[in-house]
Structure 1
């Protein structure tokens, strides 16, 4: 049976590894692994999937994911174009879950670390000063060797554990139900939707892609994504709409059709259902924030 753990990270002799990864785009494979992962995006942008959470990411994105939490940073389509000169860079640490074992976490001194571990199973996005400090620490850790590297890692973990500048990502109670060849199947779904969300996507075509009936596909997809396929597609479309609204190059009607919606009323309804505000309110909020900062 094929394993859903499609990314090899640590060897039995390693406690953690640090990677400074550059390339034309980020790893487009949806995957998970038994290690904790700290990821900082130095360069690049696109859509991030953490468990059942979908969100745009940009430079400065800092996320902690716990063991076996499915994730994917998918670069925008522009990075995959034939003559693209765009590049990406990410700083990543994978560390062994045994480094923070239950016996250690039960100690009083590790109370905040234990809370960090609990939250990591939903995925955590950090911002503000925490984001800046971790970036500096990640750049420094590359020059350390031996036990000094472990000390640097624990300093980063302690920084995250004591931070209040974070958002939890996946839904409460999210559970990874993937087995066997699920990772490859879900990768096909994610890849297809990301390249076709601007046009209409039918259940028939996506079901056919996985050699399933529409009923079987719906029954298969919902418990694994923790949402219906329609909601999944809408999450991606609204995520793209949020990005376009912040760029301020299109009006709301143009953005509606650019994101794959057929009517403005449906776009407004879906946008409010996901963000709790209208597209116009969303744009005004962030333009006001941008003005106040400048």
Structure 2
């Protein structure tokens, strides 16, 4: 789906930006920017959209988002309720690939670093010991300035570039079609679907939201997302169902209807198609991993 170009603010006396956010919720528009983004989510849960990937995000996720890769983090509905004391919290770094000089990435010693930034254009999830190292260094970076900040960022990126504890997020060959004139249209579709995925959404209705004909909508959506609207909707519903299965407060039947599916058989079939597991298998595996 077409993203919105976001301008990242950097202080005049700094070559890159790091900030610590404590906010009621994460709810950005589907956007991109020329800066690379390194994000540590300290508090918050919800749905993460990066490139053509839709996944759940949670506390202590660490993500590297490459230059011009569209993304969005949307907190769960509970964060949007009035009088809630929940807060989302993150530390985020933004930097341009060439902020340390045009030739820096071309020197032989930085071959792995250059390769990392190229891989980041599909998004990278950082895990295990590497993740913990990044979290610790980001905390230090918040409290230093000048050359020390640059050294810490370089240490973080070097560690990631050498790590095997990484997972690519978007699919191989993902590319973004950036057309600013479509930004409002696709964001309208996006916002409506997030708000109504638990309900039945007809092709006629979502085409009205996008302000194009029903016949044109299906092709338009697939061209800009590399997936059908039906699959996009299923991914949102499966993501929500996965959250409810992990929380283990509702029966499978209740989770089925709470996630927008109209019958149990369809729910089981769709859940297994997207996850490779039945809802019960998914729930049991999660509980086993948590107990380990």
Range into which the TM-score falls when normalised by the shorter chain: over 0.9
Partner in structure 1 of residue 235 of structure 2:
235
| Aligned partners of 1:193 and 1:233 also within 8 Å | yes
Matched, 1:18 2:7: no
Partner in structure 2 of residue 177 of structure 1:
177
The separation in 2 between residues aligned to 1:187 and 1:11, in whole angstroms, is 29
Superposed CA deviations along residues 51-102 of structure 1, whole A, max 9, x for unmatched, are 1100111110110000110000001111112222211111000001214778
Query: TM-score normalised to the size of structure 2?
Result: 0.93
Partner in structure 2 of residue 144 of structure 1:
144
The separation in 2 between residues aligned to 1:97 and 1:182, in whole angstroms, is 27
| Aligned partners of 2:18 and 2:142 also within 8 Å | yes
Partner in structure 1 of residue 265 of structure 2:
265
Superposed CA deviations along residues 200-226 of structure 1, whole A, max 9, x for unmatched, are 111211111121111222221112111
Superposed CA deviations along residues 246-289 of structure 1, whole A, max 9, x for unmatched, are 11212222211110001111111111111112112111211221
| Aligned partners of 2:11 and 2:17 also within 8 Å | no
Q: CA deviation at 1:13?
A: 6.7
CA-atom RMSD, angstroms?
A: 1.9
| Aligned partners of 1:28 and 1:75 also within 8 Å | no
Greater Cα offset, 147-156 or 48-57: 147-156
Partner in structure 1 of residue 201 of structure 2:
201
Q: Which runs of 5+ in 2 are unaligned?
A: none
Greater Cα offset, 97-106 or 237-246: 97-106
Query: TM-score normalised to the size of structure 1?
Result: 0.93
Superposed CA deviations along residues 25-76 of structure 1, whole A, max 9, x for unmatched, are 1133111000100011011111000011001111101100001100000011
Q: 1:100 to 1:254 in 2, by over 3 A?
A: farther
Q: CA deviation at 1:186?
A: 2.4
Greater Cα offset, 110-119 or 141-150: 110-119
Partner in structure 2 of residue 283 of structure 1:
283
Superposed CA deviations along residues 133-152 of structure 1, whole A, max 9, x for unmatched, are 11111111112111221111
| Aligned partners of 1:42 and 1:88 also within 8 Å | yes
| Aligned partners of 1:4 and 1:182 also within 8 Å | no
Greater Cα offset, 223-232 or 185-194: 185-194
Greater Cα offset, 42-51 or 245-254: 245-254
Three-state SS of the structure 1 residue aligned to 2:33 is coil
Greater Cα offset, 12-21 or 83-92: 12-21
Partner in structure 2 of residue 85 of structure 1:
85
Task: State the aligned residue count.
Answer: 290
Q: Which runs of 5+ in 1 are unaligned?
A: none
Give the alignment of 1:56-135 within 5 angstroms: 56-99=56-99, 103-135=103-135
Partner in structure 2 of residue 35 of structure 1:
35
| Aligned partners of 2:35 and 2:94 also within 8 Å | yes
| Aligned partners of 2:244 and 2:250 also within 8 Å | yes
